[in-house]
Structure 1
Amino acid sequence: MTDYAVGDIQGCFQPLQDVLDKVDFSPSRDRLWVAGDLVNRGPSSLATLRYIHSLGNAADVVLGNHDLHLLAVKYGGHPLKRKDTIQQVLDAEDATLLLDWLRHQHLAVYDADRDLFMSHAGLPHIWSASDAVACAGELESVLRSPDAADYFREMYGNQPERWSPDLTGMGRLRVMTNYLTRMRFVAQDGTLELTAKESISSAPEGFEPWFAYPRADNTRVVFGHWAALEGKTGADRYIALDTGCVWGGELTLMNLDSGERICCDCES
C-alpha cells in the first residue's frame, strides 16, 4: 500500500489519469490524498469529481477555494464567474449526489503517525496542526448541516483579516475558511493579505509567505493553491503540490513516504 498526494487537479481529468498510470495506482491497494481544487478552470470537472468520488475510502479529500465556490453557486445562490467551467457539474444527472458528497469532505486532515498535515492553502504559524483540524471541524459541521446555505451565502469576503478565538458567527467561519483555502501571505501577528497571488518575491510590505515563519513543531505540511511557487518552498517540510496544471504546467503526484514526485506535462 502506498499513499500519494496530488496537487490542484482543477478539472484536468486526463493528466490525473496519466500521472496515476505512471505509478500503477490502484484504489484496492493505494490511497490518494487530494489537496483541494478538484474542479474549475479545466475542461473536465465532472469527470474528475466522478472519479474521486468513485475511489471511496481510498481517497482523502480536502476542499479548496474552487470547490467551495462550486458549492456556493449550488447552495448559496451565487452566480457563475466568467472563467468558471463548472456548469457541466451543475447540469449533471448525478449533481445532487456529487455535490452532497463534496460538502461532506474535509477542510484539513492530519496523520499523526507521519506528523503530516494537509489543507488546500497550508498551515498558518499561529495554529498548531490540532488547532487547524479543530477549526476545520467547525467548518465541516456547518457545511454538512441544514445551515449550509446560510454559510455559502455569506462565505465570500476578506474580513476579518486575523484569527481570534473570541470571534463568533460568520466572521469566525469566514476567517477560518480563508486560512485553510485562500492563504498565501500573512503578517507576524497572523493577519492575512489575500490580494497578492504571485511569487514569494511579490510579498507586500509587512507580509511573508505563511511558511516563512518558525514553528515549534516538526509537522510536515502538504498544500496546493499557490501555482506561482512552482512546487518550491525552500523547505522540505512544506510540500507545495500546485504546479499549475490548468495553466499548462504540470500535475504533481507525491509519494508521501519516499518523497518522490511524479509529474505529468499538462501543456496540451
Structure 2
Amino acid sequence: MATYAIGDLQGCFTPFMALLRQIEFNPGRDTLWLTGDLVNRGPESLQTLRWVFEHQDCVQTVLGNHDLHLLAVSEGYGKVHADDTIQAVLNAGDAKVLLEWLRCQPLMIYEQGFAMVHAGLLPEWSIKKALRLAEEVEDELSGTHHRTFFSKLYGNKPTRWQDDLKGMDRLRMIVNVMTRMRFITRDGELDLAYKGELEGAPDYLVPWFEAAGRRSVDTPIVCGHWSALGLMLSEEVLAIDSGCLWGGSLTAVRLEDREVFSLPCQAYREIRK
C-alpha cells in the first residue's frame, strides 16, 4: 500500500494516466492525494473529473481555485474566460452528478501526519484551526445556501485575517488563503497580485511558507497552485505543482518515503501504451 500525492492536473488527463502507469498505481491497494485544480486550462477536464469521480474510493482531493470557478460558473456566477476549458464539463450529460460531488470535496485534509491544501495557510493558523476554518466553508458549500455563497465568492478582500470576521468576508478570506495565496506581506497581509517566481518578488513580500512564526510548521503540508515556484520539497512543505499544463512535468510524491516520480509532459506520448 502506498499514498501518492500528485500536483495540479488542470485537465491534463493523458499525462495523468501516463504517470499512474509509471508509478504502477493500483486502485485496489494504493491511494492518491490530489492537490486540487482538477480542471480547467488543459484539454481534458471532463475526462479528468470523471476518472477522479469514478475512483473516489481510492482518491482524496482538495478544492482548488479552478474547481471553485467551475462550480461558480455552473451556478450562473463568474465569467467564463477565453482560456477556460470547462464547457465540456458544463455540457456533459453527467454534469449534475459530477458537480454535486465536486462541491462536497474538502478544502483541506489531515491524515498520516500530513496536511494537504491547494495553496497554503496563514502563519497565524495552526493545523487544528485551519481545519476548523476549512470546515466552515465546506459546510456552506455542501449546504442549501451554496448558490448564495457562489454569488459573493469573487473578490480580493479582506486581506488581513481577524478572528471576528463574519459572514462572506470571513468565508471569502478562508477560500482565498487556501486556494489562491502565494505571498503575504511582511506584516501579514494577504497579497494576491504577484504570481511569479520567488526571485522576482517585491521586497515587501514573503512566500507564505517562509513567514515568521508560522504555527503549522511542525506538520508537513502538501500543496500545489504555484507552478512558477516549481517543485519544492522540504521537511515542512511539499509544493508539487511542477507545471504540467505549461510544458513542465507532472509530479507524484510517495508520502511513505517521499520518493519523487516525475513525468515530462512533452514526453508522455512516448510511454503511452
> TM-score normalized by structure 1?
0.95
After TM superposition, the structure 1 = structure 2 runs for residues 73-84 of structure 1, keeping only pairs within 5 Å, are: 73-84=73-84
CA RMSD of aligned residues (A): 1.3
Counterpart AA for 1:183: M
The corresponding residue for 1:220 is 220
User: Aligned residues: percent identity?
Assistant: 46
Compute the displacement of 1:229 (Å). 1.0
C-alpha separation between the residues in 2 aligned to 1:115 and 1:141?
24
Q: Would you identify which runs of 4 or more consecutive aligned residues in structure 1 move more than 3 Å?
A: 214-217
Answer yes or no: is the 8 Å Cα contact 1:32–1:60 preserved in 2: yes
Give the secondary structure class of the aligned counterpart of 2:221.
strand
* Count of aligned positions: 265
Contact kept, 8 Å, 2:45 with 2:86, in 1: the verdict is: yes
Range with greater deviation from structure 2 (115-124 or 168-177): 115-124
The residue number in structure 2 matching 1:211 is 209
- Matched ranges for 1:188-203 at <5 A: 188-203=186-201
Q: CA deviation at 1:115?
A: 2.3
Question: Offset of 1:189 from its aligned partner?
Answer: 4.0
Task: Give unpaired runs (5+ residues) of structure 1.
Answer: none
Q: Distance in 1 between matches of 2:219 and 2:203?
A: 28
Q: What code does the residue aligned with 2:204 have?
A: G
Q: Structure 2 counterpart of 1:258, which letter?
A: D
Corresponding residue for residue 178 of structure 1: 176
Task: Kindly provide the CA deviation profile for residues 119-164 of structure 1, in whole angstroms up to 9, marking residues without a partner as x.
Answer: 0002221111111111110000000111111111111111000111
**Counterpart-to-counterpart distance in 1, 2:155 and 2:71:** 16
CA contact (8 A) 2:225 2:241 kept: yes
Summarize deviations over 1:76-104 as a string: whole Å, max 9, x none.
43231110000000000000000000000
User: Secondary structure at 2:228's aligned position in 1?
Assistant: helix
Amino acid at match of 2:235: D
Give the corresponding residue for 2:58. Answer: 58
Match for 1:153: what amino acid? S
1:67 aligns with 2:67: yes
Q: Which residue is 1:87 aligned to?
A: 87
Match of 1:261 in 2: 260
1:73 and 1:173 map into 2 onto residues whose CA distance is 18
Q: Which residue of 2 aligns with 1:250?
A: 249
Structure 2 residue aligned with 1:14: 14
For 2:200 and 2:164, locate their aligned partners in 1 and report how far apart those are by CA, in whole Å.
Answer: 32
Q: Secondary structure at the match of 1:18?
A: helix
